[in-house]
Chain A
Protein backbone atom coordinates (compact mmCIF):
# COMPACT_ATOMS: atom_id res chain seq x y z
CA UNK A 1 0.00 0.00 0.00
CA UNK A 2 1.34 3.43 -0.90
CA UNK A 3 1.90 6.06 1.78
CA UNK A 4 -0.80 8.22 0.22
CA UNK A 5 -3.35 5.39 0.25
CA UNK A 6 -2.43 4.45 3.80
CA UNK A 7 -2.93 8.08 4.86
CA UNK A 8 -6.39 8.07 3.28
CA UNK A 9 -7.36 4.86 5.06
CA UNK A 10 -6.14 6.19 8.41
CA UNK A 11 -8.06 9.45 7.90
CA UNK A 12 -11.19 7.40 7.18
CA UNK A 13 -10.70 5.32 10.32
CA UNK A 14 -10.19 8.45 12.39
CA UNK A 15 -13.45 9.93 11.06
CA UNK A 16 -15.26 6.68 11.91
CA UNK A 17 -13.79 6.76 15.43
CA UNK A 18 -14.90 10.37 15.95
CA UNK A 19 -18.40 9.52 14.72
CA UNK A 20 -18.67 6.48 17.01
CA UNK A 21 -17.59 8.57 20.01
CA UNK A 22 -20.01 11.41 19.30
CA UNK A 23 -22.97 9.25 18.22
CA UNK A 24 -25.89 9.32 20.59
CA UNK A 25 -29.06 7.40 19.85
CA UNK A 26 -32.21 9.37 20.62
CA UNK A 27 -35.56 7.67 21.15
CA UNK A 28 -37.68 9.11 18.36
CA UNK A 29 -41.46 9.45 18.32
CA UNK A 30 -41.55 6.64 15.77
CA UNK A 31 -39.63 4.35 18.14
CA UNK A 32 -42.01 5.21 21.01
CA UNK A 33 -45.00 4.46 18.79
CA UNK A 34 -43.54 1.09 17.80
CA UNK A 35 -42.88 0.23 21.46
CA UNK A 36 -46.46 1.16 22.34
CA UNK A 37 -47.74 -1.06 19.52
CA UNK A 38 -45.63 -4.01 20.66
CA UNK A 39 -46.65 -3.53 24.30
CA UNK A 40 -50.31 -3.43 23.24
CA UNK A 41 -50.20 -6.78 21.43
CA UNK A 42 -52.44 -9.39 23.12
CA UNK A 43 -49.44 -11.70 23.52
CA UNK A 44 -47.66 -9.05 25.56
CA UNK A 45 -50.32 -8.54 28.20
CA UNK A 46 -50.01 -9.81 31.76
CA UNK A 47 -50.99 -13.46 31.92
CA UNK A 48 -49.58 -14.25 28.47
CA UNK A 49 -47.77 -17.57 28.18
CA UNK A 50 -44.11 -17.04 27.29
CA UNK A 51 -42.98 -20.65 27.68
CA UNK A 52 -41.78 -20.77 24.09
CA UNK A 53 -39.82 -17.54 24.24
CA UNK A 54 -36.07 -17.54 23.91
CA UNK A 55 -34.62 -14.88 26.19
CA UNK A 56 -31.40 -14.95 24.21
CA UNK A 57 -29.23 -16.61 26.85
CA UNK A 58 -26.63 -19.29 26.30
CA UNK A 59 -28.30 -21.41 28.99
CA UNK A 60 -31.46 -21.75 26.91
CA UNK A 61 -29.46 -22.54 23.81
CA UNK A 62 -27.64 -25.37 25.62
CA UNK A 63 -30.75 -26.64 27.33
CA UNK A 64 -32.76 -26.85 24.14
CA UNK A 65 -30.00 -28.39 22.07
CA UNK A 66 -29.50 -31.03 24.74
CA UNK A 67 -33.11 -32.05 24.20
CA UNK A 68 -32.88 -32.34 20.43
CA UNK A 69 -33.02 -35.94 19.23
CA UNK A 70 -32.10 -36.86 15.71
CA UNK A 71 -34.66 -39.18 14.20
CA UNK A 72 -33.70 -41.17 11.10
CA UNK A 73 -35.68 -40.16 8.05
CA UNK A 74 -38.32 -42.74 7.06
CA UNK A 75 -37.85 -44.12 3.55
Chain B
Protein backbone atom coordinates (compact mmCIF):
# COMPACT_ATOMS: atom_id res chain seq x y z
CA UNK B 1 0.00 0.00 0.00
CA UNK B 2 1.46 3.32 -1.01
CA UNK B 3 1.14 6.57 0.89
CA UNK B 4 -1.34 9.00 -0.77
CA UNK B 5 1.41 11.60 -1.09
CA UNK B 6 3.98 9.31 -2.74
CA UNK B 7 2.78 9.61 -6.38
CA UNK B 8 2.84 13.42 -6.17
CA UNK B 9 6.23 13.41 -4.42
CA UNK B 10 7.58 11.18 -7.19
CA UNK B 11 6.18 13.49 -9.89
CA UNK B 12 7.61 16.56 -8.15
CA UNK B 13 10.97 14.81 -8.16
CA UNK B 14 10.72 13.96 -11.88
CA UNK B 15 9.98 17.62 -12.61
CA UNK B 16 12.86 18.76 -10.34
CA UNK B 17 10.47 20.90 -8.29
CA UNK B 18 12.03 22.63 -5.30
CA UNK B 19 9.67 22.35 -2.33
CA UNK B 20 9.73 21.61 1.37
CA UNK B 21 6.90 20.15 3.39
CA UNK B 22 5.99 22.43 6.27
CA UNK B 23 3.17 22.74 8.79
CA UNK B 24 1.57 20.11 10.97
CA UNK B 25 1.97 17.28 8.47
CA UNK B 26 5.73 17.90 8.37
CA UNK B 27 5.91 18.13 12.17
CA UNK B 28 4.18 14.74 12.31
CA UNK B 29 6.99 13.26 10.18
CA UNK B 30 9.31 13.63 13.15
CA UNK B 31 7.16 11.43 15.40
CA UNK B 32 7.32 7.66 15.79
CA UNK B 33 6.08 5.28 13.07
CA UNK B 34 2.39 4.51 12.81
CA UNK B 35 1.29 7.48 14.89
CA UNK B 36 0.25 11.02 14.13
CA UNK B 37 0.56 13.59 16.85
CA UNK B 38 -1.85 16.07 15.29
CA UNK B 39 -4.59 15.82 12.68
CA UNK B 40 -4.66 18.26 9.78
CA UNK B 41 -6.87 18.86 6.77
CA UNK B 42 -4.07 19.40 4.31
CA UNK B 43 -0.42 18.84 3.55
CA UNK B 44 1.51 22.09 3.09
CA UNK B 45 4.33 22.37 0.59
CA UNK B 46 6.40 25.57 0.63
CA UNK B 47 7.67 26.72 -2.79
CA UNK B 48 10.10 29.49 -3.76
CA UNK B 49 9.00 32.62 -5.63
CA UNK B 50 10.02 31.03 -8.92
CA UNK B 51 7.49 30.93 -11.77
CA UNK B 52 9.16 28.05 -13.64
CA UNK B 53 9.25 25.99 -10.45
CA UNK B 54 5.56 26.68 -9.86
CA UNK B 55 4.65 25.68 -13.42
CA UNK B 56 6.60 22.46 -12.90
CA UNK B 57 4.72 21.80 -9.64
CA UNK B 58 1.40 22.26 -11.46
CA UNK B 59 2.58 19.88 -14.22
CA UNK B 60 3.38 17.28 -11.56
CA UNK B 61 -0.19 17.63 -10.26
CA UNK B 62 -1.63 17.19 -13.77
CA UNK B 63 0.49 14.10 -14.20
CA UNK B 64 -0.87 12.57 -11.00
CA UNK B 65 -4.51 13.48 -11.72
CA UNK B 66 -4.75 16.10 -8.99
CA UNK B 67 -7.17 18.96 -9.59
CA UNK B 68 -5.74 22.43 -9.06
CA UNK B 69 -7.69 25.19 -7.37
CA UNK B 70 -7.01 28.77 -6.40
CA UNK B 71 -9.38 30.99 -4.42
CA UNK B 72 -12.04 28.26 -4.44
CA UNK B 73 -12.06 28.13 -8.24
CA UNK B 74 -10.35 25.78 -10.65
CA UNK B 75 -6.96 27.20 -11.57
CA UNK B 76 -7.06 28.95 -14.95
CA UNK B 77 -5.53 27.48 -18.06
CA UNK B 78 -3.09 27.59 -19.67
CA UNK B 79 -1.04 26.90 -16.59
CA UNK B 80 1.99 28.64 -17.95
CA UNK B 81 4.69 31.03 -16.82
CA UNK B 82 2.42 34.06 -17.26
CA UNK B 83 -0.18 32.62 -14.88
CA UNK B 84 2.51 31.53 -12.43
CA UNK B 85 3.91 35.07 -12.34
CA UNK B 86 0.47 36.47 -11.49
CA UNK B 87 0.04 33.87 -8.72
CA UNK B 88 3.47 34.73 -7.34
CA UNK B 89 2.73 38.48 -7.41
CA UNK B 90 -0.27 37.83 -5.19
CA UNK B 91 1.54 35.21 -3.08
CA UNK B 92 -1.57 33.17 -3.76
CA UNK B 93 -2.00 29.61 -2.62
CA UNK B 94 -2.66 26.79 -5.08
CA UNK B 95 -4.58 23.83 -3.74
CA UNK B 96 -4.31 20.35 -5.25
CA UNK B 97 -7.12 17.90 -4.59
CA UNK B 98 -7.04 14.20 -5.27
CA UNK B 99 -8.61 10.88 -4.46
CA UNK B 100 -9.43 10.02 -0.84
CA UNK B 101 -9.75 13.74 -0.09
CA UNK B 102 -6.02 14.31 -0.49
CA UNK B 103 -5.46 18.04 -0.17
CA UNK B 104 -2.05 19.52 -0.83
CA UNK B 105 -1.50 23.25 -0.54
CA UNK B 106 1.32 24.88 -2.48
CA UNK B 107 2.16 27.95 -0.45
CA UNK B 108 4.63 30.68 -1.33
CA UNK B 109 4.76 32.02 2.20
CA UNK B 110 6.17 30.60 5.42
CA UNK B 111 5.84 33.16 8.15
CA UNK B 112 9.22 34.26 9.51
CA UNK B 113 11.27 32.46 6.84
CA UNK B 114 12.47 32.85 3.28
CA UNK B 115 12.55 29.75 1.11
CA UNK B 116 16.32 29.42 0.81
CA UNK B 117 16.86 29.28 4.58
CA UNK B 118 14.38 26.44 4.93
CA UNK B 119 15.60 24.69 1.76
CA UNK B 120 19.26 24.77 2.85
CA UNK B 121 18.50 22.89 6.07
CA UNK B 122 15.81 20.53 4.72
CA UNK B 123 15.65 16.83 5.49
CA UNK B 124 15.19 14.34 2.70
CA UNK B 125 13.07 11.47 3.95
CA UNK B 126 11.87 8.47 1.96
CA UNK B 127 8.25 7.47 1.56
CA UNK B 128 7.68 4.30 -0.48
CA UNK B 129 11.24 4.80 -1.78
CA UNK B 130 10.32 8.28 -3.01
CA UNK B 131 12.24 11.29 -1.63
CA UNK B 132 10.03 13.65 0.38
CA UNK B 133 11.62 16.96 1.34
CA UNK B 134 10.70 18.35 4.74
CA UNK B 135 11.59 21.48 6.69
CA UNK B 136 13.49 21.22 9.95
CA UNK B 137 11.21 20.73 12.93
CA UNK B 138 12.72 23.86 14.50
CA UNK B 139 11.77 25.95 11.46
CA UNK B 140 8.22 24.58 11.51
CA UNK B 141 7.80 25.42 15.19
CA UNK B 142 9.34 28.89 14.89
CA UNK B 143 7.08 29.68 11.95
CA UNK B 144 4.03 28.58 13.92
CA UNK B 145 5.04 30.92 16.69
CA UNK B 146 5.63 33.80 14.26
CA UNK B 147 2.16 33.27 12.79
CA UNK B 148 0.64 33.72 16.23
CA UNK B 149 -2.84 32.47 15.32
CA UNK B 150 -4.85 30.97 18.14
CA UNK B 151 -4.73 27.49 16.59
CA UNK B 152 -0.96 27.76 16.21
CA UNK B 153 -0.55 28.76 19.85
CA UNK B 154 -2.58 25.71 20.80
CA UNK B 155 -0.48 23.53 18.51
CA UNK B 156 2.74 24.75 20.13
CA UNK B 157 1.53 24.21 23.68
CA UNK B 158 0.38 20.66 22.93
CA UNK B 159 3.36 19.89 20.70
CA UNK B 160 5.75 20.67 23.55
CA UNK B 161 3.85 18.23 25.73
CA UNK B 162 3.84 15.61 22.95
CA UNK B 163 7.62 15.87 22.51
CA UNK B 164 8.12 15.38 26.24
CA UNK B 165 6.01 12.23 26.07
CA UNK B 166 7.78 10.95 22.94
CA UNK B 167 11.23 11.34 24.43
CA UNK B 168 10.19 9.47 27.55
CA UNK B 169 9.66 6.35 25.46
CA UNK B 170 12.73 4.21 25.56
CA UNK B 171 12.44 3.09 21.90
CA UNK B 172 13.10 6.63 20.75
CA UNK B 173 16.34 7.09 22.58
* Interface residue ranges, A against B (CB under 8 Å): 20, 23-28, 30-32, 34-39, 41, 43-60, 62-64, 66-67
The answer, yes or no, to whether B93 is at the interface (CB within 8 Å) is no
**Given A47-B126, A55-B29, A66-B100: A24 touches B40 (CB 8 Å cut-off):** no
Q: Which of A39, A50, A58, A62 contacts B138 (CB 8 A)?
A: A39
Q: How many residues of B contact A (CB 8 A)?
A: 54
B101 and A38: CB pair below 8 A? no
Return chain B residues, CB-CB under 8 Å to A20.
150
* B interface residues, Cβ below 8 angstroms from A: 1, 3-5, 24-26, 28-43, 98-103, 123-129, 132, 136-138, 141-142, 145, 148, 150, 153, 156-157, 160, 163-164, 166-167, 172
5 pairs of A and B residues whose beta carbons are closest in the complex: A59-B102, A56-B36, A55-B25, A54-B36, A52-B33
